[in-house]
Amino acid sequence: MHFSFCIFDVAAYYFLEECFSECFIANIAFHDVLVLCAIFKDNFFKLMFSRIVVMERKTIIGLVVVFLMVSSIFGFVVDFAARPSVQKLKYGDFKFRLVNQQYLASIGGEERAFVFFPGDLEFIQVSDDAKSLLAKPVLTVTYDSNSDIAENFGEAQYYFEVQLNGEKTIERALTNSDGGSLPQKSCADATSEQPVIELNKGDTSEIRAEGNCVIVTSLDSYDLYQQTERLIYVMLGVMT
């Protein structure tokens, strides 16, 4: 999410603080109202209505009044995303920029955004056999749609496809397809020309190769996301 902030001076700060007491909302932190003022215009009412169920009538009225006063006094909101803070990092031959909690890097002539810095994923072991399979130009990513983290598997599967666009061809499949749009494939369908990456949930966290299949076993969704990005970094040549 891109956040914004209001332009104001010290005098305006104390003016607003005084307005809060006048609006009978002293029980709400001043920071909360600044946040309301900070969110993009078309997100404000969505946020406000989501809080109505826990607010008293006078609190709701107070927030509306404060918002209107802030809008009329300051007149505009400056988007913080226009001038985000940037931290520069390097991993091997690749230069990363940390912008709005995302790691950006130009890889293969394309700007790509990542959740984790590669150096933070070095603890995840990937065998040489698995790396050989990941080097193939066409791969299938599959998972069990009945898993309790099936939604997360689907997100990881799509993430493979998006992040490797232009570098690899990713076929999406299910290990138990019910005749839907995705084909049914598992490690049993893996070939040397088209290896399979099978996503599973288990009691251990590991990435191993069996025949022409890379089996990813995750403890939970967070573990899965780390493993997914670790494999993507290998497939893009960022990590070994």
| Mean pLDDT to the nearest integer, 4-11 | 35
pLDDT beyond 50 at 35: no
pLDDT beyond 50 at 25: no
Of 238, 169, 167, 173, the residue nearest 199 (C-alpha):
173
Split at pLDDT 50, 70, 90, the class of 14 is very low
- Supply 35's token pair: 């946040």
pLDDT beyond 80 at 44: no
pLDDT of residue 40: 37
pLDDT beyond 70 at 20: no
Convert the pLDDT of each residue in 135-194 to its tens digit: 999 999 999 999 999 999 999 999 999 999 999 999 999 999 877 789 999 999 999 999
pLDDT beyond 90 at 39: no
pLDDT beyond 50 at 129: yes
Convert the pLDDT of each residue in 54-108 to its tens digit: 445 444 544 444 444 444 334 434 444 455 678 999 999 999 999 989 999 999 8
Of 196, 215, 197, 219, the residue nearest 207 (C-alpha):
215
Give me the sign of the Cα torsion angle 225, 231, 134, 113.
positive
Split at pLDDT 50, 70, 90, the class of 121 is very high
Give the lowest-confidence range in 32-41, 55-64, 117-126: 32-41
pLDDT of residue 229: 98
In degrees and rounded to multiples of 5, residue 103 shows phi and psi of -95, 115
Question: Cβ contacts of residue 75 below 8 Å, gap of 6+?
Answer: none
- Supply 207's token pair: 């990435």
C-beta separation of 155 from 217 below 8 A: no
Domains and CATH numbers, the chain: 4-80 (no CATH), 123-235 (3.30.379)
| Mean pLDDT to the nearest integer, 201-227 | 97
Sort 68 into a burial class: Cβ within 10 Å, 0-12 / 13-18 / 19+: exposed
Q: What's the chain's average pLDDT?
A: 76
Q: Hunting for tokens 């509306």 — which residue is that?
A: 64
pLDDT beyond 60 at 17: no
Sort 141 into a burial class: Cβ within 10 Å, 0-12 / 13-18 / 19+: buried
Sort 80 into a burial class: Cβ within 10 Å, 0-12 / 13-18 / 19+: middle
pLDDT of residue 181: 86
pLDDT beyond 50 at 42: no
Numbers of helices and strands, H then E, in the chain: 7, 11
